[in-house]
């Protein structure tokens, strides 16, 4: 799977998880870990975008796991993932 295909899958899953109850969303986010990991070296800008998306998704996961509000965390994660998508090949 190419990096572009991975990030498209991550973005779709992220948007779908946003509409789910906390436990279902957390399960969906946990399934994204393998897709967010890099397999080969990419340009620094792509790696930074990937890392930002990963960290933003982790912030949602931490909030959901702790039972904290996550509503304000979804949009930054989606935007970070969209940035990664714009750079992925």
Dist CA 8 CA 32 (whole Å): 11
Report CA-CA distances (Å) from 38 to 49, 71, 75: 11, 28, 23
List the chain domain ranges. Answer: 3-87
Looking at the predicted structure, is the pLDDT value of residue 15 above 90? Answer: yes
Quick one: pLDDT at residue 1?
Answer: 84
Quick one: pLDDT at residue 28?
Answer: 96
Quick one: pLDDT at residue 22?
Answer: 96
Tens-digit pLDDT profile for residues 26-35 = 999 999 988 8
Tens-digit pLDDT profile for residues 22-60 = 999 999 999 998 888 877 788 999 999 999 999 999 999
Quick one: pLDDT at residue 65?
Answer: 96
């Amino acid at each position: 799977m190419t990096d572009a295909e991975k990030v498209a899958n991550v973005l779709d899953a992220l948007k779908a998880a946003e509409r789910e109850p906390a436990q279902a969303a957390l399960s969906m986010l946990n399934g994204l870990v393998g897709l967010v990991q890099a397999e080969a070296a990419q340009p620094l800008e792509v790696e930074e975008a990937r890392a930002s998306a990963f960290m933003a998704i982790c912030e949602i996961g931490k909030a959901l796991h702790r039972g904290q509000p996550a509503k304000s965390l979804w949009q930054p994660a989606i935007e970070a993932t969209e940035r990664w998508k714009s750079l992925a090949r």
